[in-house]
């Protein structure tokens, strides 16, 4: 019989369905509007096909002499007129004014009314029409909100109460001959088959929603990661490294463990930019950051403090251990073959190391490291100085 049915098992259709329900969002570009219209066209074609199958089933009853020949034609034409009405609304863009651009409640109500109308007009095969109500609600439930479902259910309930309690219509499903039994069997088979497709469509929606959920989580994770990283060097940005420093100070003071930091500066970096160009300077910064990452511990935190200055936070590290670590890093940087960027290029670093004192604030902590860095520069650079 006539049903409301989707384009089943199509991932693109599923994504457009989710978009229509607001489960995923997409800007209303021309492409998105065109995609919506295409999806609604698919739905209308399948509805028309479903009504055609229903009309063929009714033709069997007509051939058996159970119902007049006019019933299958009237059923088919009525279904096409109803579908055509919603198709016109779709093609004119009327649907796109609403959040539910499928107009699900109105479509469900229209198809329910049509089925109930034929139930009253042809009660002899009434249960054939009643069986279709299950299919209409099965598909409608995929798209309706709780409020819309309650409204549609109330409408259907009112109609069925009127038919069952306020009329004496002999509702039946005749099985007196082979053709009637064939028609009844086909009716049940068609409804079961279409309900199965509805279930498969719902499964496709769940899989699509899960996949989109995973993609969104990954996107959010990536956004959070990018918000913490310096775009050029891939190290933590200043805001993030300062937050990590504050957290480590609190942890160190609570646990009574040492904590050291180092402010690192690339020597004569302005000269590198002036002599070799800013693109080369950027590559120098990236190479320094990568080399530093490769030579610190997993618990250490490394971030760009500003310009060519970097801050290294060293948890559970004494002053002597921090000095040795920085001096080893200084030697590694000095020994790198920087000539790959430009013949004769040489890059060195200077650093100031400080170890946290009792009840010291981050400002004072950084100020002492900065003073030690200034002392390294004053002594000729390419050296490490402890505060």
For residue range 363-383, what is the model confidence (pLDDT) as tens digits? 999 999 999 999 999 999 999
Strands (E), the chain: 259-266, 301-306, 309-315, 349-355, 384-386
What 3-state DSSP class applies to 351?
A: strand
pLDDT at residue 224 in the model: 67
Q: What share of the chain is helix, strand, coil (3-state, %, to 5)?
A: 65, 10, 25
Q: What single string gives the DSSP state of each residue in 172-212?
A: ----SSHHHHHHHHHHHHHHHHHHHHHHHHHHHHHHHHHHH
Q: What's the rounded mean pLDDT across residues 109-114?
A: 94
Which tens digits make up the pLDDT trace of 58-69?
Answer: 999 999 999 999
Q: Which of 19-23, 123-127, 281-285 has the lowest mean pLDDT?
A: 19-23
From the list 313, 338, 309, the residue with the least C-alpha distance to 325 is 313
Task: Report pLDDT digits (tens) over 304-362.
Answer: 999 999 999 999 999 999 999 999 999 999 999 998 888 889 999 999 999 999 989 99
Report the mean per-residue pLDDT for the chain.
87
pLDDT, residue 213, reads: 84
Percent of the chain exceeding pLDDT 90 equals: 59
Laid out side by side, the sheet with 259-266 consists of: 301-306, 309-315, 259-266, 349-355, 384-386
Q: Looking at the predicted structure, is the pLDDT value of residue 3 above 50? A: no
**Looking at residue 356, what DSSP letter applies?**
P
pLDDT at 29: 73
Query: Does pLDDT of 14 surpass 50?
Result: no
| Strand runs labelled E in 208-358 | 259-266, 301-306, 309-315, 349-355
User: What is the DSSP secondary structure assignment for residue 380, as one 8-state letter?
Assistant: T
Task: Report helix angle 104-121 to 70-91, nearest 10.
Answer: 170
CA distance 232 to 53: 63
Of the listed ranges 137-146, 196-205, 292-301, the one predicted with least confidence: 196-205
Highest mean pLDDT among 146-155, 241-250, 340-349: 241-250
**pLDDT over threshold 60, residue 9:** no
What is the per-residue pLDDT across 276-314, written as a single tens digit (0 to 9) for each?
999 999 999 999 999 999 999 999 999 999 999 999 999
Domains in the chain, start-ordered, CATH in brackets? 11-225 (no CATH), 238-386 (3.30.70.270)
HSE at residue 59, side-chain half, CA atoms within 13 A, is 8
Count of beta carbons in the 10 Å neighbourhood of residue 382: 18
The average pLDDT across 252-273 equals 94
What whole-number distance in Å separates Cα of residue 116 and Cα of residue 126? 9
- Residue 45 predicted with pLDDT over 70: yes
356: region left, alpha or beta (phi > 0 left; psi from -120 to 50 alpha): beta
95 secondary structure, DSSP code = G
Task: Say whether pLDDT at 223 is over 80.
Answer: no
CB 324 within 8 A of CB 218: no
The least confident of 14-18, 47-51, 230-234 is 14-18
């Amino acid at each position: 019989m006539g049903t409301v049915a989707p384009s089943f098992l199509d991932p693109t259709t599923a994504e457009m369905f989710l978009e229509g329900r607001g489960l995923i969002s997409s800007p209303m570009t021309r492409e998105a509007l065109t995609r919506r219209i295409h999806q609604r066209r698919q739905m209308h074609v399948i509805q028309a096909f479903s009504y055609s199958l229903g009309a063929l089933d009714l033709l069997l009853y007509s051939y058996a002499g159970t119902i007049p020949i006019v019933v299958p034609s009237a059923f088919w034409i009525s279904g096409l007129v109803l579908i055509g009405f919603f198709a016109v609304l779709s093609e004119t863009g009327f649907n796109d004014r609403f959040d539910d651009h499928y107009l699900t409640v109105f479509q469900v109500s229209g198809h329910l009314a049509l089925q109930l109308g034929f139930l009253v007009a042809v009660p002899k095969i009434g249960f054939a029409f009643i069986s279709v109500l299950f299919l209409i609600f099965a598909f409608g439930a995929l798209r309706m909100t709780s409020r819309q479902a309650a409204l549609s259910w109330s409408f259907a309930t009112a109609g069925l109460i009127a038919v069952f309690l306020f009329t004496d219509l002999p509702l039946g499903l005749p099985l007196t001959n082979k053709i009637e039994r064939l028609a009844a069997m086909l009716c049940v088979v068609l409804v079961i088959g279409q309900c199965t497709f509805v279930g498969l469509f719902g499964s496709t929606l769940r899989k699509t929603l899960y996949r989109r959920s995973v993609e969104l989580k990954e996107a959010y994770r990536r956004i959070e990661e990018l918000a913490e990283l310096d775009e050029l060097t891939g190290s933590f940005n200043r805001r993030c490294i300062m937050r990590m420093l504050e957290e480590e100070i609190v942890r160190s003071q609570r646990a009574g463990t040492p904590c050291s930091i180092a402010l690192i500066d690339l020597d004569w970096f302005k000269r590198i930019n002036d002599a070799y160009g800013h693109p080369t300077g950027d590559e120098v910064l990236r190479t320094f950051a990568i080399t530093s990452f490769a030579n610190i511990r997993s618990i250490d935190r490394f971030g760009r403090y500003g310009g060519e200055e970097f801050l290294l936070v060293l948890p559970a590290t004494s002053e002597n251990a921090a000095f040795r670590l920085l001096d080893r890093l200084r030697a590694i940087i000095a020994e790198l073959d920087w000539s790959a960027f430009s013949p004769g290029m040489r890059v060195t670093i200077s650093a100031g190391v400080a170890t946290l004192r009792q009840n010291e604030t981050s400002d004072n902590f950084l100020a002492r490291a900065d003073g030690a860095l200034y002392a390294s520069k004053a002594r000729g650079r390419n050296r490490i100085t402890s505060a």
